[in-house]
Structure 1
Amino acid sequence: MTAALATVRADEFERCRKVLFAAGLATSDTHFSYVGLLEPDKRLLATGQAPRQLRALLIDMRTGESHDVVVDPAADRVVSQRRIDPDRDGAVPVVVREFGYVEEVVHRDERWLAAMRRRGLTDLSQLRVNPLSAGVLAEGERGRRIQRCFTFVQRTPEDLGWAHPVDGVVAMVDVVTGEVLDVVDHVDLPVPAEDGNFHLYDGPRRAGLRPIEITQPEGPSFDIDADQVLTWAGWSLQIGFDQREGLVLHDIGITDGDRVRPIVHRASIAEMVVPYGDPSPQRWFQNFFDCGEYLLGGYANSLELGCDCVGEITYLDAVVAGNDGHARTIPQAICVHEEDYGILWKHTDNWNGSSDSRRQRRLVVSFFVTVGNYDYGFYWYFYLDGTIEFEVKATGVVFTSAYPGPGYAYATEIAPGLGAPHHQHLFSARLDMAVDGPVNAVDEIDAVLVPRGPANPTGTGFTPVVTRLRTESQAQRLADNGKGRIWFISNPTVHNRLGQPVGYTLHPQGQPVLLADAESDIHRRATFATKHLWVTAYDPAELYPAGDLVNMHPGGAGLPAWTAADRDIDGADIVVWHTFGLTHFPRPEDWPVMPVDTTGFTLKPYGFFGRNPTLDVPPSAAAHCHSHHH
């Protein structure tokens, strides 16, 4: 664990801002799109010489000129700077100013006003303009900073505007010049009339639900120090937070005997994309990168005890940079607690008469964000048996449209005249692996039937088939649930007491990857989402699977560009990238607010220990638990 990787402090953000203004790189017109820790090459950490630097993405909203700057806040100096070429590099992420500003601009445009009048909509106070990331720029948009805008009717300040989409109208806005470049009015569909105000529900409440109280009279079993290094039941890890990725966990390891054995150097959700499957003229561009375009960590919720987290809770604040460059604290953004998780192991023996069981519990480190209409909870779980699990909980309000009519192939009617376009939620976990050290390798393991023959005369034999993934091109893989496919991440230089290489297995859920044609814009921009697995040789500059600057990028950046070198990954310092997610055909039950849907993955020890590592877990001490031993 090291202070070099600790979350950026408020005073560091303030010093960074001061340096940028002093250097003339920031002025009163500058918006700080992103500021975060530029993590040093991990090979420097052991030397104690790792620099503490911040990276800032800046945009002058008067001219549109953008810069990528590295600052050493302790030395009060600019380390490097470069001007961003929007045609080649893409654009810095969306800044808060753009959300409200586009509504002012669109409300003044006569073409948009005429489209509203044709629909009988004249009260501007009820017409909410929803700015959306532009995707790939169209003809006449090169070099501009674009938002594409839909319109919704919000009848009162308390009304849920998502219930009333004004479908068929899109306004293209240059947020730097304040121009509406074009208004597309391609179809006139009735504005859905039924309200969706779930937050104003005043009907009878379900009866019979009695309180569940979760208490730990002696307090939690974990400790967290000043650098947010957490220790719990043999586990140790450092909790960090980033404006782009949200939770970032470093140096995940577990105690085995008298030493802490490393498993993962760095773990985060490095990107997520929400591609929509409606190819209509209104929605051809509708694909949102919530990390790369919107910086989801900055939209973390302040969590409430008893509502968002239940039990003996420890909250941690998150500190990010606001668009003015000043530090902004999100109180109680991170929730840390323990949960009972049922039976860990149990056996009643018929021969010796013994009966033993142990309870499983897990440590939970989580946060929740709201990005537009959707809300996402990100949960890291650590179990007593060495298992690591990650889960996303997707909820909130589905993106809505007017429903064109029965049989429409690309949306579900979720309320009278109200549609919800089909879409996916695809996430990329970046796992900088360190299983018992930096030398790791990846095998693909399939369960297969052995052909009937001398070795399998009854035809009932089956076995795992193991394939070593030796290069980056070989390690671009799809899950196969029919074969129970998993990936074994091992250290070929370290063996357990049985002489086997120690390792962890990655268990994918195996849901669909990106459902888009290979020649489509979104396929080029989100190529990472076309495979469940990528493995790359470690490079400290390779952090985001769709590239550094996703906003309005033409595509091809990130994983497809890096892996073109086809580097050796067999017994190397490697990074494992795992794509997982949901393919959502919305249901009427998802309206007006969506019950949680979940997705994720699991890392399980496989030969990492020489036997069950939980034999030392004590029996339950609860008063209602009575163990019977022979």
Structure 2
Amino acid sequence: MTTVADPTADRNRLVHEIDRPADHPLRRLTAAEMTSAREVLERAGMVTADTRFVYVGLHEPDKSDVRAYQRDPAHHIDRRCRMYLLDQATGQGSRVVISLDDRSIVSNTAVDPVRDGQVSLLDEEFEIADKLVAADESWCAALRRRGIDPAKVRGVPLSAGHFGFTDEIGKRMARVVGFCQEDEKDLPWAHPIDGLVAYVDLTARTVQKIVDDADLPVPAERGEWDAEPHASPRRNTLKPLEITQPEGPSFTVDDDVLTWENWSVRIGFDGREGLTLHEVSYLDNGRRRPVLYRASVAEMVVFYADPSPSRFYQNYFDTGEYMFCRYTNSLKLGCDCLGEIHYLDATIADDHGRPCTIDNAICIHEEDYGLLWKHNDMFNGMSESRRSRRLVISFFTTIGNYDYGFYWYLYLDGTIELEAKATGVVFTSALPDGDSAYANELAPGLGAPFHQHMFCARLDMAVDGDANAVDELDAARVPMGPDNPYGNAFTRTATRLYRESDGQRTGDASIGRVWRISNPDKRNRLGNPVGYVLHSQNAPLMLADENSSTHRRANFATKHLWVTRYDPEERYPAGEYVYQNHGHAGLPTWVTADRDIDGQDIVLWHTFGLTHFPRPEDWPVMPMDYTGFTLKADGFFDRNPTLDVPPNGRSCHG
């Protein structure tokens, strides 16, 4: 969910300088290019006082063009920008592609609000909704009846979802709930005004209706982390912990290309997906071998379990509905990042299509990660230890009450890991009678509904090349019999996924289910196809009923894995236009083509997440919670690729 927020606050600054032209076709969109794209629209008469820029990003070229460029850098690729526009006067959205080379409009496609849904919400619309509700007499009367001063209420505009309400079809809607704030230091999330919600038509700029379902007492206890009863003397037992690299870091960053040990990765940043990784490869015996062509978190949704009339609609696609990477934090050394840090700024566009820079948006550093390998041998006297370390590429974004961190880890042994971190403040409710079937009590009279955070990673695989296949691997018991007389045997089964109808899978921790991505055309020294294995956490999938709106709209979250044939237009698992989309967009529609995925250019879509039953320890600020997945080399190398890692030198005393 989100609140009224200003993406041009002091964490951002307007960019005026002219950037040098892009060279690599996947290089991040520059401020000058964003400005140029806006100028193209202005000259075409497509920018009026009512035009708002919902999204501005690099329109990435087809992979075949990028491959041609890799073979011959003289190969020309038209540099393009993709935009979502909104006419606030009519509510009409559109998708525009601009040629930055020709300074021309390549395409301009209207978004049908009934068929497609709506383009994403704007910060300005949060402000509009808040002001409309604050001025509505029915809303104010409901507050006064509860003994609440309307001036102390902070409206929180939320996405409307899609529930088939006839009076909302084709309209650009939002829902607004309220929280009390007694003074400027008070934490509004501590005082939810439950049982009351306003439905707002953002285009007509009217409050369509007020749902006043239940008159629940507003929890009174303050919620700041340092306010009573939470306040206590700060502990003084933690001694300084310094992380130093006297000779500097082991990585280099050159024009967004990060090189560390044997890894190479091009770093990108997008206003919708946030941090993106491109052309991830590993240098093995002098040969650079690709692993991933592109990786990102392409969607996330948070849906809540409270079925009450004032809360049933709570499901928020923070990526597709809110473009939540607009709220990326400017990171601070010693607070958010520790050690020898290299920062990268990120350039995004504001609601008027003007470039803004988020300082220190991306953090890059190394971390010690314990032992890499160790052995003391009783026969040959070997006594060796090697320490592991990992490279961390991360960013943090705040979307209303929750804060999310996304951390990509690269390890010395070829492992890739993504860890998503959730912290911040849980979305609260009034709970005067203590725990309910759908919420837990956090503080006296204060509840938090059960909910799920579901993420979907888009993994465009390139394991030693673009032709890849997927096998589902399961541990299997072997019955006792002539070949297993004592019953100790167990084995592993492999099931090849041949078509997209086969490639919709659920995890199973009871049999250690993993998925192996291999290249049938490349063999290791043992004669087996080289590969990587996707290890999932096998967390619960979507718990909403299969007939629900949430199930239809977030259908990607019904499977842990989807495998599709590569298509450059298939970017987002819940579809391109998520806001008020009626459902089944994205993955469930694409896979009806049932394309061949065996030994083809394929994309893996991996669902992972958190099922959160809030607890008192999550209040007033939630300790970090973690989820993610791992990609491990499996026959990709001929032997342990870290045999050349030296002892730890001066740090090892023995």
Give the TM bin, normalised by the shorter chain: over 0.9
Deviates further, 340-349 or 100-109: 100-109
| 1:409-488 superposed matches below 5 A | 409-488=437-516
- Residues 88-116 of structure 1 show CA distances to partners (whole Å, capped at 9, x for unaligned) of 11101110101122121001111111110
- Residues 581-607 of structure 1 show CA distances to partners (whole Å, capped at 9, x for unaligned) of 000000000000000000000000000
1:25 aligns with 2:61: no
Which of 628, 633, 638 lines up with 1:610 in the alignment?
638
Cα distance between partner residues in 2 of 1:445 and 1:49 = 42
Please, what TM-score do these two structures have when normalized by structure 2? 0.94
Which of 138, 153, 156 lines up with 1:127 in the alignment?
153
Give the aligned partner of residue 585 of structure 1. Answer: 613
1:625 aligns with 2:646: no
- Residues 199-245 of structure 1 show CA distances to partners (whole Å, capped at 9, x for unaligned) of 5576311121000000001111111112x011100100000000000
Which of 8, 14, 25 lines up with 2:29 in the alignment?
8
Deviates further, 274-283 or 1-10: 1-10
SS in 2 for 1:88: coil
- Residues 310-339 of structure 1 show CA distances to partners (whole Å, capped at 9, x for unaligned) of 000000000001111000100000000000
- Residues 457-481 of structure 1 show CA distances to partners (whole Å, capped at 9, x for unaligned) of 1111001111101111111010000
Cα distance between partner residues in 1 of 2:160 and 2:292 = 36
* 1:388 counterpart letter in structure 2: I
Moved runs in structure 1, 4+ residues, more than 2 A? 46-51, 199-203, 622-626
Give the aligned partner of residue 212 of structure 2. Answer: 185
**Kept after mapping to 1: 8 A contact 2:225/2:231:** no
- Residues 60-84 of structure 1 show CA distances to partners (whole Å, capped at 9, x for unaligned) of 1122121110001232111100111
* 1:205 counterpart letter in structure 2: R
Report the alpha carbon displacement of residue 125 of structure 1 after superposing the two structures with TM.
2.6
1:546 aligns with 2:567: no
Cα distance between partner residues in 1 of 2:248 and 2:294 = 29
Give the aligned partner of residue 207 of structure 1. Answer: 236
**Kept after mapping to 2: 8 A contact 1:396/1:593:** yes
Report the alpha carbon displacement of residue 624 of structure 1 after superposing the two structures with TM.
4.3
Which of 201, 210, 219 lines up with 2:248 in the alignment?
219
Unpaired runs of 5+ residues, structure 1, are none
Deviates further, 389-398 or 400-409: 400-409
Cα distance between partner residues in 2 of 1:406 and 1:150 = 21
Report the alpha carbon displacement of residue 516 of structure 1 after superposing the two structures with TM.
1.1
Cα distance between partner residues in 2 of 1:28 and 1:71 = 20
1:52 aligns with 2:73: no
1:347 aligns with 2:375: yes
Cα distance between partner residues in 1 of 2:210 and 2:324 = 29
RMSD: 1.2
Report the alpha carbon displacement of residue 506 of structure 1 after superposing the two structures with TM.
0.2
| 1:314-325 superposed matches below 5 A | 314-325=342-353
Report the alpha carbon displacement of residue 28 of structure 1 after superposing the two structures with TM.
1.8
SS in 2 for 1:564: helix
Give the aligned partner of residue 72 of structure 2. Answer: none
Which of 178, 202, 222 lines up with 1:151 in the alignment?
178
- Residues 174-212 of structure 1 show CA distances to partners (whole Å, capped at 9, x for unaligned) of 112110000000101000000001155763111210000
Cα distance between partner residues in 1 of 2:595 and 2:248 = 49
Report the alpha carbon displacement of residue 623 of structure 1 after superposing the two structures with TM.
3.8
Number of equivalences = 624
Deviates further, 512-521 or 130-139: 130-139
Deviates further, 172-181 or 193-202: 193-202
Unpaired runs of 5+ residues, structure 2, are 1-21, 69-74
**Kept after mapping to 2: 8 A contact 1:41/1:50:** no
- Residues 371-398 of structure 1 show CA distances to partners (whole Å, capped at 9, x for unaligned) of 0100000000000000000001100000
Cα distance between partner residues in 2 of 1:148 and 1:533 = 32
- Residues 118-160 of structure 1 show CA distances to partners (whole Å, capped at 9, x for unaligned) of 10112x3311110000000523011211110100001111211
Which of 174, 189, 201 lines up with 1:162 in the alignment?
189
| 1:89-128 superposed matches below 5 A | 89-122=116-149, 124-128=150-154
**Kept after mapping to 2: 8 A contact 1:169/1:187:** yes
Distance 1:79 1:390, change over 3 A: same
* 1:129 counterpart letter in structure 2: G
1:42 aligns with 2:70: no
Which of 285, 293, 299 lines up with 1:257 in the alignment?
285
**Kept after mapping to 1: 8 A contact 2:201/2:208:** yes
- Residues 496-519 of structure 1 show CA distances to partners (whole Å, capped at 9, x for unaligned) of 000010000000000000001111
Distance 1:168 1:477, change over 3 A: same
SS in 2 for 1:377: strand
Cα distance between partner residues in 1 of 2:232 and 2:42 = 55
Cα distance between partner residues in 1 of 2:23 and 2:553 = 35
Cα distance between partner residues in 1 of 2:437 and 2:223 = 24
* 1:427 counterpart letter in structure 2: F
**Kept after mapping to 2: 8 A contact 1:230/1:237:** yes
SS in 1 for 2:421: strand
Identity within the alignment, %? 58
**Kept after mapping to 2: 8 A contact 1:274/1:426:** yes
Give the aligned partner of residue 331 of structure 1. Answer: 359
Which of 258, 264, 275 lines up with 1:247 in the alignment?
275
